[in-house]
Amino acid sequence: MAVYSAAAAVLAGVESRQGSLKGLVYASNFQNVKQLYALVCETQRYSAVLDAVIANAGLLRAEKKLRPHMAKVLVYDLLLGKGFRGRGGRWKPLLERHQARLKAELARLKVRQGVSRNEDLLEVGSKPGSDLHDHPLYQAGHLILQDKASCLPAMLLAPPPGSHVIDACAAPGNKTSHLAALLKNQGKIFAFDQDAKRLASMATLLARAGVSCCELAEQDFLAVSPSDQRYCQVQYILLDPSCSGSGMPSRQLEEPKAGTPSPERLRALAAFQQRALSHALTFPALRRLVYSTCSVCQEENEDVVRAALQQSPGAFRLAPVLPSWPHRGLGAFPGAEHCLRASPETTLTGGFFIAVLERAELRLTGRSTSLRADTRPCPKEEEEAAKSGGCPQHTARHIAAAQSANSSQALGPRRQFGYGWRKKTGNPVPQLEGDGTLLCFGSLPWVVLLRVRRTAAHKNKTQDMVYDRSQFFLFLMT
């Protein structure tokens, strides 16, 4: 039948790299394109199974005139498809002579692999060096191909299922789909991009991949307000902003000068990247952020990270990730070795850069306490301050003015302080009085070391207590 001949020709063309599967199907001029495409895709999907059955049954040895690709198409339809059902032409009696042997070999294959269904014989993996772009699973959207280095950002962000995540510069959506897989489609991904066309393509990609936890927005991430209540639970942000693409081998092949961006372009890109990173770090609930580029230029990578960390001193730190990764960040500043780089020479990938930033933590009495960079009192605190006649004191603003963040240092003269405490238990709140001195504690400039003298009920003992802003706030008493 003509459909078998056309399908065999398409498979032969794909194997000899004459074109893509879809392109060869449409170029075949076969009248029922849908039927031909389905037959070719399914035959290729079971290719390894069919090769094993045909070889073990000795079909090609017995039928010298039968070509391998035609045999594969015919055996698929006989054993795994709908059967010949009135079609098959001159090939039908030939295959029927070998039908019993072919079915027996298929049954033996299932027994050897310990499966009962034909679908269980499929192997998702492929041999090294295989081109998967024509694979039916890829074309159906069930597989999404990425460079190894491009898979690292979502993996290192590692949001647990149920988390709220921002993908700041999301299109074309490969990393977004990876995040959705890590989330197991549970939680929420807020994906932003300004390019309407790229966002439309991304919506198609996510739909084909079965992503249902993502909310797309045609919006500039820099215009997104961190104080918006929709993002109050966002603890993870992936920021992969526009860059020079100097690490992409494909772009360098298409544009020979793409690997050497001009100084002016680098400055413009770095300025945007730094604004985006600094903006991302202002989200109040943020705990972990991954910054990545497909650039090899220091101006877009280490320099951007250093500038953002300097703008939020002590609030975030570079997380030491993948210690065995062979290519580290350039020594542009202390701690830059925690960044990751990738290149064709060292990691067999495209050129890439990754930095993982996490909110600094202080361990008190065996308990890890996350420190908030946002030190503005909550509305309830401000209300209590107004009632008491005091004014809310933004602690971090005073402490960050310290000349040194590496040693304890008093900030100016002693002042009289009132107190405020967020009650998390039913324990009584101690009354505090006397002098309080703000100190810069280690490298965490908004941790408050408050030296107080307790009331007579506590025998007037002087005691050092360390609180972070999630527990304690101060009112400056005039």
294 is catalytic: yes
Beta strand spans in 219-260 (E): 234-239
Q: Give the CA count within 13 Å in the CB-facing half-sphere of 160.
A: 1
- SS3 for 398? helix
Q: How many Cβ atoms sit within 10 Å of the Cβ of residue 358?
A: 16
Return the structure tokens found at 217: 């927005």
Amino acid (one-letter) located at 426: G
Rounded to whole angstroms, the Cα distance separating 261 from 444 reads 38
Q: How many Cβ atoms sit within 10 Å of the Cβ of residue 165?
A: 26
Residues 125, 94 contacting (CB under 8 angstroms): no
Q: How long a stretch of residues is the chain?
A: 478
Residues 475, 388 contacting (CB under 8 angstroms): yes
**Which string of b and e fits 198-215 if b means at least 16 CB within 10 Å?**
ebeebbebbeebebebbe
To 5 degrees, how large is the angle CA 140–CA 141–CA 144? 135
At residue 8, what are phi and psi to the nearest 5 degrees?
A: -65, -40
Rounded to whole angstroms, the Cα distance separating 431 from 420 reads 10
Chain Cα centroid distance, residue 352: 14
Catalytic residue among 243, 294, 339, 440: 294
Any idea which residues carry the catalytic annotation?
294
